[in-house]
Amino acid sequence: MKKIFILGLAFSGIFFCLSVQATDNNLPSADSWVYQLQEADINALSQTTYDIIVIDYSKDGTDDEAYTNEQIRSLQDSGKIVLAYLSIGEAEKYRFYWQTAWNDTAPDWLGPENENWEGNYKVRYWHDGWWNDALLPYLNRIEAAGFDGVYLDIIDGYYYWGNHGYEVKKSANRMVKLIKKIRENFNTNNEVIICPQNGEAIIEDAGKKYRNIYWDNIDCVGIEDLFYNSTKADKIYRKKILKRFANHNKTILNVEYIKEEKEAEYLNKSKNQIFPIIPYRADPDRELSGS
Q: What residues does each domain of the chain span?
A: 33-282
CATH number of the 33-282 domain: 3.20.20.70
Q: How confident is the model at residue 187 (pLDDT cuts 50, 70, 90)?
A: confident
Mean pLDDT for the chain?
89
Higher pLDDT, 205 or 117: 205
Model pLDDT for residues 168-184, shown as the tens digit of each residue: 999 999 999 999 999 99
Q: How confident is the model at residue 5 (pLDDT cuts 50, 70, 90)?
A: very low
Q: Please, are residues 110 and 121 in contact by the beta-carbon 8 Å criterion? A: yes
Rounded CA-CA distance 135/125 in Å is 9
Q: What pLDDT score does 28 carry? A: 58
Rounded CA-CA distance 62/134 in Å is 14
Alpha helix (H) residue ranges in 48-156: 69-77, 128-130, 136-145
pTM, two decimal places: 0.90
Using DSSP's 3-state secondary structure scheme, residue 127 falls into coil
Q: How confident is the model at residue 29 (pLDDT cuts 50, 70, 90)?
A: confident
Q: How confident is the model at residue 253 (pLDDT cuts 50, 70, 90)?
A: very high
